[in-house]
Amino acid sequence: MRTADLIQRNYHRIVEPHGLTIQQYNVLRILRGAGEAGLPTLDIGERMIEQTPGITRLLDRLEVKKMVRRQRSERDRRQVFCWITPVGLGLLEDIDTPIDQAGIDAFGGLDESEVRSLILKLERLRQTLGKLLRQ
């Protein structure tokens, strides 16, 4: 948990000057990956790194900043689709390089085989924890 906190603080120092939280940044990255098809609100929530019950509030704040747009589905009025806007894409482009560099710097003390080994171990840990939480 201490390591996760340090990682989050490292990324927070990059996104905060741009008026974003880590969770808002995560939403923008998810929507950029979705492309022109967009995503329903619930799908965004499921893809979040840090699960949050407040996905609607996150989207509200990003919509006010003109970084996302939403539209109710015509086929299923209960479903709301979301897209990243050019403003959101521009912001991500501005911080892509510093975010990438922060990741590189964080692993600077490990060689390539150690990084691969760590990733595999973390994936196994997440699988085990996922199974436990589904029980």
CATH at residue 61: 1.10.10.10
Cα gap 67→64, rounded to integer Å: 8
* Residues 57-90: tens digit of each pLDDT: 999 999 999 999 999 877 776 788 999 999 999 9
**Average pLDDT rounded to a whole number, residues 43-60:** 87
Q: Which residue has tokens 């989050």?
A: 8
Considering the domain boundaries, does residue 59 fall inside one? Answer: yes
Distances in Å between the Cα of 28 and the Cα atoms of 8, 67, 83, 87 are 16, 8, 9, 11
Considering the domain boundaries, does residue 115 fall inside one? Answer: no
Q: What is the tally of structural domains in the chain? A: 1
Considering the domain boundaries, does residue 135 fall inside one? Answer: no
Residue 74's domain comprises 2-96
Considering the domain boundaries, does residue 15 fall inside one? Answer: yes
pTM over 0.75: yes
